């Protein structure tokens, strides 16, 4: 019969820590050049594969109760970092697990958990400064991506995509049939788009639609009735000019009118809506208006369809629609207006520099306005491996662009080991809580190198001891052959900005879990048992 056990103090901490460390160990096996996927049982008798840190953490964590507290905090941290940074879930898990394990050990020895958590957070700025000391210039992208993925074909494709758009450009990664990797790119304002109706799309057997000398209506609203736009449509029909209507939605009699004019009198018209939703859809339409020189239609700017005049439409030399992408070639927006918006977006990116997702979105919008884009399409014969390759490609693009912008640190956990050594060395004449916090963070930082070397079958303890010694930035070990030296030159490097984000997130999440010790110390916790 089930009953409730009452857990206090050390027993409660063990109930939290043991399943968390099992979860971290499962994630850690995916690290490094010899990292492996994890098999798990989604249902009785079934077997599935998880190959990235986020998926492994989700599938191997305790599902609930006090035993699942650590796993839930870890998964939330991994989810946020994957969204914001696009890379590094396994490294974050190792750092988090190491800090928590050392922190719980300190609490078990009588340390104050709340003060310990606060001391961990206070180390953020120091860790950031130490990371800057380890900074190196980015290595050649093909080497770096090849070292990250072990996939020379993907490395070459990422390098080609970035050669088109640069560090701040837009690279969209998508899945495609077959087993190849293709790159396409060019100049112009582009975004993922959906046709308001398939009847406005290319006429079979064509698979793409192209309009020349196109006028652009940009409306940040849903359009169901054109009302007074009838004369404008009639003018386009008579002149054989092209019109692109881009809005949140185009429905009802407005859509019927466009389809009827297209089919019956040959009006060169298309109605599109952004594939993005919510605020991101509004951003697409606002930026399109600036890029093409259109007057934005929308209630928030006080311009309704009834006030629209032909002079308020934007222009582009050509519109190409294929594979759910719209590309406006040579849009006619004013340089001053585009530069002003890009300056605002650059300032927004700087304000949100520690919120990587918001920063990336601001930079993507600026890149789109500047008119540089690239698309990388990945395929595998097996659906699971195709999806995994797309995930890997996106992470590689994020890492490569981040490396170009911020530089890198030595990979394989080498830079983190040196920072850990300096944190410990700086603990002299400090109070006991600060020393414990430094020891906990240092253990977390070293956990990455330990995991990579264990996966490679190397003597992890001896290697980490060697890495603790003084060495120039870029120095480390190649796990593939145990050779020490300038590993950054070999492409074994981690982007500085991404690494900083992972470390800070891991420290914050670990502090959150350590604070639960303060609650445990004063409370009895009921847990299911038999």
Tell how strand 242-250 and strand 209-223 pair up: parallel
Write out the two tokens for 413: 């956990």
Q: State whether residue 175 is helix, strand or coil.
A: strand
Taking residues 135-139, report their average pLDDT. 93
pLDDT score, position 9: 64
Question: By the 8 A CB rule, do 445 and 98 touch?
Answer: yes
Tokens 């928590």 -> residue: 100
Q: How far apart are CA 149 and CA 398, in angstroms?
A: 13
* Of 369, 465, 468, residue with least CA distance to 415: 468
Given a cut of 50, whether residue 487 has pLDDT beyond it is: yes
Q: Within 29-68, where are the H helices? A: 53-60
Domain limits, the chain: 3-137+410-520, 141-186+371-406, 189-333
pLDDT tens for 313-364 read 999 999 988 878 888 999 999 999 999 999 999 898 878 766 667 777 887 8
Task: Look at the chain and count its residues.
Answer: 530
Give just the sign of the alpha carbon dihedral 400, 163, 337, 247.
Answer: negative
Name the β-bridge partners of 475. 486
Which of the residue ranges 61-70, 133-142, 333-342 would you say has the lowest mean pLDDT? 61-70
Write out the two tokens for 400: 């490569």
Q: How far apart are CA 370 and CA 343, in angstroms?
A: 11
Instruction: Write the CA distances from 138 to 80, 151, 172, integer angstroms.
Output: 25, 19, 22
Q: 205 preceded by cis ω (within 30°)?
A: yes
* Of 214, 295, 198, 283, residue with least CA distance to 248: 283
Q: State whether residue 95 is helix, strand or coil.
A: helix
pLDDT score, position 339: 92
CATH T-level fold of 3-137+410-520: GROEL; domain 1 (1.10.560)
Q: How far apart are CA 390 and CA 384, in angstroms?
A: 10
Q: How far apart are CA 82 and CA 91, in angstroms?
A: 12
The mean pLDDT of the chain is: 84
Domain formed by 189-333, architecture: 3-Layer(bba) Sandwich (3.50)
Angle between helices 141-149 and 383-406 (to 10 degrees): 140
pLDDT score, position 258: 81
Instruction: Write the CA distances from 341 to 259, 294, 365, 405, 516, integer angstroms.
Output: 35, 14, 9, 21, 45
pLDDT tens for 235-264 read 776 777 888 999 998 888 888 888 887 776
Given a cut of 90, whether residue 468 has pLDDT beyond it is: yes
Pick the more confident residue, 8 or 128.
128
Question: By the 8 A CB rule, do 470 and 425 touch?
Answer: no
Angle between helices 113-122 and 89-108 (to 10 degrees): 140
* Of 129, 162, 211, 121, residue with least CA distance to 504: 121
Given a cut of 90, whether residue 505 has pLDDT beyond it is: yes
Write out the two tokens for 436: 């414990």
What are the counts of helices (DSSP H) followed by strands (DSSP E) for the chain?
A: 18, 17
CATH classification number, 141-186+371-406, choose in 3.60.15.10, 3.20.20.120, 3.30.260.10, 3.40.50.720: 3.30.260.10
Write out the two tokens for 192: 């993922």
Tokens 């190849």 -> residue: 180
Q: How far apart are CA 246 and CA 216, in angstroms?
A: 7
Question: By the 8 A CB rule, do 87 and 399 touch?
Answer: yes
Q: How far apart are CA 258 and CA 236, in angstroms?
A: 11
pLDDT score, position 524: 44
pLDDT tens for 258-315 read 888 777 666 688 889 998 888 889 999 999 999 999 999 887 777 888 777 888 899 9
Given a cut of 70, whether residue 207 has pLDDT beyond it is: no
């Amino acid at each position: 019969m089930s009953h409730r056990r009452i857990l206090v103090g050390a027993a409660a901490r063990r109930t939290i820590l043991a399943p968390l460390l099992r979860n971290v160990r499962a994630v850690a096996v995916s690290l490094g050049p010899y990292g492996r996927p994890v098999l798990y049982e989604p249902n009785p008798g079934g077997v599935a594969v998880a190959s990235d840190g986020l998926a492994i953490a989700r599938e191997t964590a305790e599902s609930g109760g006090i035993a699942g507290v650590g796993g839930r905090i870890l998964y939330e941290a991994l989810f946020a970092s994957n969204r914001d940074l696009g890379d590094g879930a396994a490294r974050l898990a190792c750092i988090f697990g190491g800090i928590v394990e050392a922190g719980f050990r300190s609490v078990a020895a009588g340390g104050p958990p709340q003060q310990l958590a606060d001391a961990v957070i206070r180390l953020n700025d120091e860790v950031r400064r130490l990371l800057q000391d380890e900074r190196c210039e980015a290595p050649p992208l093909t080497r770096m991506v090849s070292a990250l993925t072990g996939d020379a074909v993907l490395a070459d494709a990422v390098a080609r995509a970035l050669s088109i758009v640069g560090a701040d450009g837009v690279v969209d990664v998508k899945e495609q049939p077959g087993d190849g990797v293709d790159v396409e790119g060019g100049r112009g304002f582009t975004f993922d788009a959906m046709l308001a109706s398939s009847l406005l799309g290319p006429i079979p057997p064509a698979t793409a639609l192209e309009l020349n000398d196109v006028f652009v209506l940009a409306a940040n609203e849903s359009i169901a009735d054109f009302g007074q736009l009838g004369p404008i449509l009639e003018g386009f029909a008579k002149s054989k000019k092209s019109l692109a209507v881009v809005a949140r939605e185009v429905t009802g009699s407005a859509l019927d009118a466009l389809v009827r004019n297209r089919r019956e009198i040959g009006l060169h018209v298309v109605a599109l809506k952004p594939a993005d939703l919510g605020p991101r859809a509004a951003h697409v339409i606002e930026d399109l208006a600036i890029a093409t020189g259109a007057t934005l239609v929308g209630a928030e700017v006080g311009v309704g369809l009834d006030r629209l005049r032909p002079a308020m439409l934007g222009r582009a030399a050509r519109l190409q629609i294929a594979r759910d992408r719209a590309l406006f070639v040579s849009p006619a927006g004013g340089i001053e207006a585009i530069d002003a918006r890009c300056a605002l977006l650059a300032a927004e990116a700087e304000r949100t520099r520690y919120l990587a997702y918001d920063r990336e979105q601001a930079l993507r919008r600026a890149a789109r306005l500047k008119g540089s884009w690239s698309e990388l399409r990945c395929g595998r014969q097996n659906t699971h491996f195709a999806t995994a390759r797309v995930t890997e490609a996106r992470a590689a693009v994020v890492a490569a662009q981040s490396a170009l912008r911020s530089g890198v640190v030595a990979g394989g956990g080498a830079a983190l080991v040196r920072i850990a050594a300096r944190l410990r060395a700086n603990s002299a004449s400090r109070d006991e809580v600060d020393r414990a916090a430094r020891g906990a963070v240092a253990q977390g930082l070293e956990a990455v190198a330990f995991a990579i070397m264990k996966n490679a079958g190397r003597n992890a303890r001896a290697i980490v001891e060697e890495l603790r010694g003084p060495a120039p930035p870029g120095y480390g070990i190649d796990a593939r052959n145990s050779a020490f030296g300038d590993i950054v030159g070999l492409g074994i490097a981690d982007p500085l900005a991404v690494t900083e984000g992972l470390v800070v997130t891991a420290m914050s999440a670990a502090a959150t879990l350590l604070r639960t010790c303060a609650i445990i110390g004063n409370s009895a916790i009921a847990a299911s048992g038999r």
